Chain A
């Protein structure tokens, strides 16, 4: 039976190898119940400026851990195969361990882990700490947000700055769940929540940030392709969490301006001028 169990454990690294083959070849194993090669759905399409860094890190860690995973799993299989009591006539190697080995397998993983930690700090700083800037006159200031996104059970409330460039003034444009941004531009948004925790998740732009009531946060991203994408709420916000679904439309500057003007005139026609963002329905 030892042979049988060893082979069962061999399936684990085989499964692992298959996974990495699929990951590297970008093959999605189960697509609508059928195999599709290549289906381009391993990680969702990345349409952003900064998402590539995150994807590369993901793949880097995947390769690194993959080698360790497959190596240790195969070692486990080999030891099970070789040292099966039914087959192995050699006496047990009576040993309590090895200082050298302990040192080797402490230092090597420590170095690898420290390397990963340091290697990806820049990506983190870019994603969360270096807010884009703009020039106003001769001074470089943090870029003004284009839109304020407020999470609310169970929708995303949006407020665009009007002609004055300020959010929170009477000329703001209001929208719900329908976020439009211009393509190829760094966009800064203000993220708030009105009631409970939400999380603003753009899978195709590799952006995620919790919206916390009582806190005002800035999130920035740049989309490099036009199209419509999902806005997902990724933090449990109540029974309707699953339907807190927004849509991100990335479009050219002209289309964006056109959309903005249309929405603005429609808003004026309906004389819907809420006083602030804290309005109730």
Chain B
């Protein structure tokens, strides 16, 4: 992967010095842009892995116990190409782990956070370049540990990405609860360290290193989102890390934090006791619910950037957008219990969590209305990045609203742990975040590599992704309403669910189509990296500081000292003739400096 990175950058950094110089420049680089590209490539690679794991799940749900053609006999020769029920648990555990920890979080924080923060605030680099490098290199132990956990014989970790004890703690409880689970826990801890190093860096950089004139309320919403996300991570992650170590101790030396008395799994009595399985759930979701917003807020920020740019109009309600992001982050800390409505938690506590959860839908609603307000009365250019972000908007409306069903405790009794929730979070994380990430790649690719991606191919990619994603995830609401449970290798034995097989086959065919569509994206990405048309500094005629730097920016980013005169969304301003007004452009002579963006009209 690092060698590809080297290729990507060799054209403007070719130095031809000693091998050591080469490695320190491109592999163990302290430059935020190189680190961003490293994160991007890792995430893309793992995206392929995660997608293939998803296809494994879809295969089993559509054609249960039937041998996978071609690859089945290679993977599971002993079972005649079948997916075994043990391997099925590994499949969904690893799909979630890879997609969350190796794809979405690195895409958002690692790749785009790293790339955009210094460029958008007008800084030379991150505040702590070495920490930044470490945050990438801590991903590698995680890759190796989780990879080893996945490939463990006979089965990889299979406790779900939520890793609920006692299943994950008692080694007798499952064939995969031995070493693979320990490796998994250490792997996730390494991801945590990486994220923590990143978030300390992002906070410091955003507070300390803004260019002259870049006040907090002139920051692009992407930066606000990254800033709030970094705070979320910094406060929530230690809890997960501590919980992870507690689970490791439970497993290795029998501390029994999460194991109650007199527990007998698989006919052997657990040695430890005195613990409580629900404790893990509280600790886990105390991190993992904010993590949902860690996986969403930066995408919302980037979508704001792209939508305003291609609507040629200021973002509607900049300050309400900032307050919404903060509101989501604040409320995000007190809603974790909605994952536990039927867990055995005190039902009174369930009611309080329910009210908080209902309220967290509010800032998201405000954001949706503001995006609609942004495109209202604009001039819309349907470029590939714009299409992906409009797709996000459309899909996020579905994903956001379906959350209300689960927030309502009595309804949640029925749909908890069914495909309804699977539909919900795939609409948010795929229809939401992943579409924005793809749009963001199309949007910032010229800045990263100095070349454009192919637009017609990008639009075909969007069209097919949009159709197949709805074909895959929309019917999940329908089967979820029947009560179709998650994580079941073969639900069709149940009378209630037997008739859902055809619909599941339809979803699986769409999922195969969706994964196949991404080949277009991969082709476009790698082809454009080498042979795409070269671009100037500002191909999209956008306002942000990053568009005033060379494409790609050299070491130190800017070849002049950027001075900021206004907010980032002054498109179609009456002050200038052009329909954009870069943040660094001095106001015309004899005119007052335009103020902060804000809702002062």
Whether the Cβ atoms of B378 and A83 lie closer than 8 Å is yes
Task: Return the chain A residue nearest B489 by Cβ.
Answer: A242
Instruction: Report chain B residues within 8 Å CB of A31.
Output: 499, 502
**In the docked arrangement, what's the CA distance between A106 and B368, Å?**
11
B382 touches A5 (CB 8 A): yes
Alpha-carbon gap, A91 to B577, bound state (A): 12
Asked if A44 lies at the interface with its beta carbon under 8 angstroms from chain B, I say: yes
Task: Assess the B313–A109 pair: CB atoms within 8 A.
Answer: no
**B375 located at the interface, meaning its Cβ lies under 8 Å from any Cβ of chain A in the complex:** yes
How many chain A residues touch B (Cβ–Cβ < 8 Å)? 104
Chain B residues within an 8 Å CB radius of A204: 496
The 6 closest A-B pairs by CB, nearest first: A214-B260, A93-B377, A97-B317, A203-B483, A97-B599, A92-B572
B267 and A280: CB pair below 8 A?
A: yes
Say whether B414 faces chain A, with CB atoms less than 8 Å apart: yes
**Closest residue of chain B to A198, judged by CB?**
B167
In the bound complex, residues from chain A placing their C-beta under 8 Å from that of B267 are 280-281
B158 contacts the other chain (CB 8 A): yes
Interface 1/0 per residue, A108-126 and B, CB below 8 Å: 0110011011001101110
Q: Check if B166 sits within 8 Å of A44, measured CB to CB.
A: no
Q: Does A264 contact B (CB under 8 A)?
A: no
Interface of chain A: mostly helix, strand, loop or mixed = mixed
Asked whether B454 is an interface residue with its Cβ less than 8 Å from the other chain, the reply is no
Contact A242 B493 (CB under 8 A): yes
Select A105's contact among B159, B311, B365, beta carbons within 8 Å. Answer: B365
Interface: B164 (CB within 8 A): yes
**In A216-237, which residues have CB < 8 Å from any B CB?**
217, 229-230, 232-237
A240 contacts B by Cβ under 8 Å: yes
- Check if B397 sits within 8 Å of A109, measured CB to CB: no
Interface segment among B190-198, B387-395, B538-546: the answer is B387-395
Question: In the complex, which residues of chain B have a beta carbon less than 8 angstroms from the beta carbon of A114?
Answer: 355, 358-359
Q: Please determine whether A212 and B344 come into contact, CB atoms closer than 8 angstroms.
A: yes
Q: Which residue of A lies closest to B483 (CB)?
A: A203
Interface residues on B, range: 35 or more
19 new A-B contacts, CB < 8 A, other than A5-B382, A44-B482, are A5-B387, A30-B475, A30-B502, A53-B410, A80-B390, A85-B312, A96-B315, A97-B599, A120-B410, A153-B266, A196-B170, A206-B413, A208-B416, A210-B344, A212-B278, A212-B344, A213-B260, A238-B173, A242-B489
Contact present for B409 and A234 (CB under 8 Å): no
Minimum C-beta distance from A120 to chain B (A): 5
Give the contacting residue for A210; candidates B342, B397, B410; CB below 8 A.
B342
- Chain A residue numbers with a CB within 8 Å of B278 are 212, 215
| Stretch with Cβ within 8 A of A (4 or more), from B345-353, B438-446, B516-524 | B345-353
Structural contact, B375 and A80, CB atoms closer than 8 A: yes
Contact with A along B65-98 (1 / 0, CB 8 A): 0000000000000000000111011000000000
- Complex: A106 Cα to B491 Cα, angstroms: 42
Q: How distant is the Cα of A45 from the Cα of B518 in the complex, in angstroms?
A: 40
Residue B536 lies at the interface, judged by CB distance under 8 Å to chain A: no
- By a CB distance below 8 angstroms, the chain A residues around B129 are none
Nearest CB in chain A to that of B567: its residue: A96
- Which of A68-76, A139-147, A165-173, A249-257 interfaces with chain B? A68-76
Cβ proximity bits B330-357 to A, threshold 8 Å, 1 near / 0 not? 0000000000001110011011001100
Q: How far is the CB of B333 from chain A (nearest CB, A)?
A: 18
A99 interface residue per 8 A CB criterion: yes
B21-29, B35-43, B133-141, B399-407: which lies at the A interface?
Answer: B399-407
On whether the beta carbons of A92 and B174 are closer than 8 Å, the reply is no
A91-B572, A196-B265 as given contacts; A73 in contact with B397, CB under 8 Å: yes
* Mask: chain A, 185-210; 1 = CB below 8 Å from B; 0 = not: 00000000011110101011011111
A113 engages B358 (CB within 8 Å): yes
